[in-house]
Amino acid sequence: MNTVTHRQAVELLHNKFIVVLGDSNHRSMYKDLVLLLQKDAHLTRSQLKSKGELVFEHDTLVEGGRMGEMTNGTGYREVRQFCTDHHLIRFYFATCVCCCVSHFKKGIKPDVVVLNSCLWDVSRYCRQWRPDYKENLNRLFIRLKSVLPDDCLIIWNMALPLGWRLTGGFLVPEIQALGPMLRHDVIEANFYSATLANAYGLDVLDLHFFFRHSLQHRADDGVHWNALAHRYITQLLLQHIAHAWGEELLRQQPAAGGWTCRTLAMRSLYNGGPNFDQNDLVLHPRFDDPDHGFVGEPVFRVSVIVKPQSCSNNEGPISRDI
């Protein structure tokens, strides 16, 4: 199996400041990256399920978590940080896209920001989430472009596929009736947010597309994912970063026949989608281990889903309903 290693991650992120901002799946993304920067190992089940702990693999709980109120509500806060002589990784738990930018106004600026809070935005504030979500996204992207330096790589990752039946701490009693519809809301929110992010010049990493055929790695609660899935997410993220920086992450080529290409489903899913040329696709290696179940998928060489008219830092694109 050709996958990212501890040494490759350490070299790629040498002297870099990475920020991961989002929900509990983003916390696991942060944890897997922190673990990989120290050793070639996978997260345990207890590490995936834990939240707000004082220490995880030599990191530090900076704010919230067990130092504050442990709740499943929108008021929950958690800030974590992993710092060595040559790496700085920080995680912010976010329950709304509009509350993100304040973290970047002071202090050193990050080299990479990975963010999304789709699931909370479409479920916890208002059933008619679309108007507020669109307005908050516009406000967020304008402020990000104004606060962060031009050389900061901002990656908007699309939310992972939800299950039909959702259980666990996320599905509080107030929103249990919304459970069956949330997965459809997430697809709609993914499309709109990715289109808008691209219009503002942000990178887009479509995790929903990559994991649509790997649902066996989703947890029983219909929301979270196992350790193998999170290592694959880390690989996709680091490959994306390496490509943006002109670096080569996976130097060893897979054996003959170890590549596969599937039809770009988004072309038919999104009405009026662009016609992509084969040269615009990069193939990822197949995971040959049957326990992993991941199959290589095409990824946009320049992280483009659609090509609306680009915008300046101060002007947003023309809003339109989808």
Taking the C-alpha atoms of residue 168 and residue 179, their distance in angstroms, rounded to an integer, is 11
268 assigned to some structural domain: no
Model confidence over 266-315: pLDDT tens digits? 323 333 333 333 333 333 333 333 333 443 333 333 333 333 333 444 44
The count of domains in the chain is 1
Residue 280: inside a domain: no
- Tell which wins on pLDDT, 257 or 28: 28
pLDDT of 153 over the 90 cut: yes
Residue 253 is predicted with a pLDDT of 41
Whether 180 is in a domain gets the answer: yes
Tracing tokens 């193998």 back to the chain, one arrives at 228
Please indicate, yes or no, if residue 284 is contained in any of the structural domains: no
Task: Tell me whether residue 277 is in a domain.
Answer: no
* Pairing label, strands 203-205, 298-300: unpaired
Distance CA 39, CA 226 (A): 18
Q: Does 321 score more than 80 pLDDT?
A: no
Parent domain of 199: 6-259
What is the arithmetic mean of pLDDT over 98-115?
Answer: 85
Confidence of residue 39 (pLDDT cuts 50, 70, 90): very high
Q: How many CB atoms lie within 10 A of CB 49?
A: 15
Tell me, yes or no, whether 292 lies in a domain: no
Res 182: pLDDT: 84
Mean pLDDT of 81-93: 97
**Based on C-alpha coordinates, what's the Rg of the chain?**
19
**For 79-93, 187-201, 212-226, 273-287, which range has the lowest pLDDT when averaged over its residues?**
273-287
The pLDDT of 176-185, averaged and rounded, is 76
Q: Which amino acid is it at 308?
A: P
Give mean pLDDT, residues 129-145.
88
Average pLDDT, the chain: 77
33 is a domain residue? yes
Q: Is residue 25 part of a domain?
A: yes
SS (H, E, C) the chain: CCCCCHHHHHHHCCCEEEEEEECHHHHHHHHHHHHHCCCCCCCCHHHHHCCCCCCCCCCEEEEEHHHCCCCCCCCCCEEEEEECCCEEEEEEECCCHHHCHHHHCCCCCCCEEEECCHHHHCCCCCCCCHHHHHHHHHHHHHHHHHHCCCCCEEEEECCCCCCCCCCCCCCCHHHHHHHHHHHHHHHHHHHHHHHHHHHCCCEEECHHHHCCCCHHHECCCCCCECHHHHHHHHHHHHHHHHHHCCCCCCCCCCCCCCECCCCCCHHHHCCCCCCCCHHHEEECECCCCCCCCCCCCEEECCCCCCCCCCCCCCCCCCCCCC
Q: What's the CATH code of the domain at 62?
A: 3.40.50.1110
pLDDT value at residue 76 = 85
Which pTM does this prediction carry? 0.77
